[in-house]
Structure formats: C-alpha cells, structure tokens
Amino acid sequence: MKNILVFFGCFCYSFYSLAQSFVPTHNYIKQKVTEGYFTTKASVVWPSDDKCINKQEALGYLNLDPSYLPTDERSPWFSELVPCQNSAVLTAMPAQNVYSACGTYILGTGYPVDIEHFCNRSRITGNPFWDANPTEQSLCGFNCASAMPLAKAGTDTTHRDTTLKNLRTSGLLATTYGGPMNRAGVWANVPTMQWVTFSVKRTLTRSGTYYIGVAADNQFKVSIDGVEIAKYTSSNQGAFEFWFILPVTMTAGTHVITLSAKDDSSPAGVAAEMYDNTEAEIRAATSYSMLNLVFSTKDMIGTTTYMCY
C-alpha cells in the first residue's frame, strides 16, 4: 500500500501571470507597501510570513476600496485589493437646523440592510441630548411604507432640500443647533455626487451587542469588515433628519467599520458613533460622559484620512 501525503494550507501566489488572480501572502503585501502600491493604516504591526492574507487583515491594515472585496469570508484575490489613493483632512461640519431634527431612533433587531422603510424603530423622547431642535420638527413626518419621508401639512417636500440649503448657505439660519449629527458631523473637500468612503479600525474587548449611530447629508452606507449592514440611499433628507442607532452583534477582536457618504449639493456632512452601552444606558445618557464611545467621527476632526471616491 502506498503512502499518500496530504498537504493542508493555501497556495497563495503560484499563478501570478493569470491576470493577477492569486491570493497574496503577508510578505508579498509588505513588499507592495514598500514599493508604494499600498498605503497602510496607522499603528499596525504586519506579520512577516508567507501565510495568505484574509479579508479582515486586508481591511485592518491597508487603505482599500471595500466595494471590490469579496462579499463572503474568502480570502481576496490580489486583483480585489484596490488601493485608496486619495487623502483628505476631515473638518468640522457646520451645524444645520434640520440635522437630527426629527429625533433619534433605535432600530429593532432584524432590521434589513435598506433601513429607510424599516418600521420597527423606537424614538428616544424627552432627552435633549438625543431629541434636539424641536422647533424644526414641523419639517418631519415619516411613513415607513412610503417612498420617502412625508412632511406635515403645509410643507413642500419637493423643494424643501434646495430651499433650506440655500438659506443655510446664505447664513440666514443660526449655527448653534444641537443633536447627534451636529455634534459629530465631519466633511472634507471631496467631490459632490460621488460616494466617499473611509474606515475606522477598532479592537473590541468583548463579544456582544454594540450600537452604531449614523446620519449623512444626503446618503450613507455602513459596513463592518467589508459586509454592508445598513444603508439609506434616497435623496429625501431622511438620512440627515433622523439619527439612526443600529444594534450590531460583534465578536471580541479587531474590526474595521467603513462609512460611505454621498452629497447631492452643498453643504454636506456625515456623522457616526459606536457605543459600548446597553439600550437603556443610551436612552438615559444626557452627555458623552455617560456613554462608552468606541469611536466618534467628531474625534477625527483635523486628521488626514484616506478616502476612496
């Protein structure tokens, strides 16, 4: 009887010539960083070995466009590792009267990726930290089954966005409005009408439920480790009138949260925060001192961030 040897592992780069369709090793990626093909995120220690790179490592180490990565958990081909070449300095977003004016809603579990019309959501009421700008709430109204947020009587939803933005640009509105998006919002000198994507890397100390708050002027998408978990992609103001808080189940360890936003017309902004709190603690919080922030875009103001657009 012949002995049969079975080898377990992955052959990462045996076929470079086949349209670059190979899974690169850690050492190969390190070489491409040295050559300037990739740029790396800050404070990363990269292994020097010939093991294949996986998707989580690629997201955590490199400034990549996540839309090219595999949607499942397989290791990416080299051709799917598309670098972000653009960098931008994030600046504080000017406060606007309608940002978060319709309140903060915590979504129920089982929400779909397209959260715009998901009705299982619960508003935080009676807490100015979350429920700000009450004088602007005549602009609000929401029909989960409808194609867009519905304004209350006397409000023209067709022209509301343009009219308000013209007023804000001309400086006729106050700039002291509160609410989650106003206090956490950022933007940069990036193109209008294009998706802008950047990532935040964090190491979590426990497994369990976390909460991500998000809003954008005018549209947003949220991904974790390359998997899209939520989006609001209608240009009807709902993406910035509401502050959406999403419950997410995550494991202990390092994860990459990716934010994408698209502006339809100036001004613009995107805001996101991640809370290591229970739902009850979030509802009761009246200041940041009562929250365990995993990250907030407000803390990224003044930093240079690699973006894809």
Separation CA 150–CA 157 (nearest Å): 7
Residue 144's pLDDT is what?
Answer: 65
State how beta strands 243-250 and 104-107 pair: parallel
* 122 touches 199 (CB < 8 A): no
Under DSSP, the state recorded for 225 is: T
Alpha-carbon distance values, 253 to 81, 204, 207, 208, 261 (Å): 22, 5, 8, 11, 26
Say what the pLDDT of residue 19 is. Answer: 43
How far, in Å, are 3, 9, 50, 189 from residue 6 at the CA level? 10, 10, 19, 55
Please give the Cα distance from 282 to 131 (Å, whole number).
Answer: 12
- Whole-number Å distance between alpha carbons of 53 and 30: 11
- What are the mean pLDDT values of the chain's consecutive 10-residue runs (309 residues total)? 43 44 91 90 84 92 89 90 90 91 93 92 94 72 52 32 39 62 94 89 94 96 92 90 96 92 90 98 98 97 89
